[in-house]
Amino acid sequence: MKRPLALLSAAVLAAALTSCDDDVSDGPTTVLRVGGTWDEGHPMSVAVDEVFEPKVEELSGGSLSIETYHAGVLGNEDGLWDGVRNGSIDTVVIGSVMNQEYPTMLISDWPFLYRDLEHARDVWTGGIGDDLAAEFEEEFPSTYLLGWGPNGARTFSSSRPLEEVDDLEGQRFRVPANPIHIGMTEQLGASPQVIPLGELFTALETGVVDGQDNGMVTITSEAMHEVQDYVYETDHIIATLQLIISAPVMDGLTEQEQQIVREAASEATDAAWDRYLESVDDDRAFLGENGVTVTRLGDSDREEMIDRLAPLYERLYAENDWAEDLVAEIEAVE
């Protein structure tokens, strides 16, 4: 649900700007570039365009301007992460590409961690999200993490039949370069293949892999429905996207401008979750209308998948001493 405190803060901020325009509008305009790898239709891209950009520009009275670059125009995720850390890119929307440096980020890819999509939203827009953002900034002091938005609930898709757990066995699935995704796919009896997102459509089209592991929102936005016939709506991982700004860039803004950026980011990530939750039924319907067989994961199949992943959970707990407490905190969120 929306956070009343955030909305109240935005109202107070707007009122303050009405009486103090010269605090933010005098002097040259500062341009903030925002880079991401997802196309313009992804909920986070839409939120940046329709909430973050106009909010920052309006409340700053013109002292701040936002330029958005979607679909990898400024580089792939690794490049964007490097850029925001070294200050060559102002702001980015990226996934957990930094998980090898900061293993706590693996939690955003923990399989079957949430009860449902609403539970995931409550976790990342609440106190746990705030606490982990503060820890993130301690680990990477050249950045500020402004908010956690939705990447999407991940599903499996394939050109081969995929309607039950056993159908996963023996298939070749593209997965990101993430040890959780790789381990999970192996435990389910499939063959994981690490391929960059930008090369995935061609890999599916040419049969390099049978299928892939991504959210329905990504399947539709990347036109993968044109080369896939089945979607198994497992929601096995509900992944996040982080809105991150370079610390030197942020520190170079006035205190009021910094507050504007933070408030706009909070509203944008809230809006992205809203849009994503509303889009799930539309994505499912779109896939069906385009000839894709969509099978939703039943309770018994969910339990079977969790049972098969037991060795992965054991390994994750053994390798990460923070995991047990954090998982318990997340499970306790109402």
Instruction: Give the confidence band of 179 by pLDDT, cuts at 50, 70, 90.
Output: confident
* 233 and 173 inside one domain: yes
* 138 and 159 inside one domain: no
- Looking at residue 312, its pLDDT comes to 96
Model-level pTM? 0.86
Rounded to the nearest integer, the mean pLDDT of the chain is 92
* 48 and 78 inside one domain: yes
* 293 and 326 inside one domain: yes
Nearest-angstrom CA–CA distance, 307 and 296: 18
**pLDDT of residue 14 exceeding 60:** no
CATH of the domain at 275: 3.40.190.170
Tokens of residue 68, six digits: 């958005």
Instruction: Give the confidence band of 222 by pLDDT, cuts at 50, 70, 90.
Output: confident
- Dump pLDDT digits (tens) for 135-149: 999 999 999 999 999
**pLDDT of residue 16 exceeding 70:** no
Burial class for 65, CB neighbours closer than 10 Å (0-12, 13-18, 19+): middle
How many domains in the chain?
2
Nearest-angstrom CA–CA distance, 294 and 236: 15
- Looking at residue 26, its pLDDT comes to 62
Give the residue numbers spanning the domain of 245: 4-151+240-280
**Tokens 């700007």 — which residue?**
17
* 29 and 164 inside one domain: no
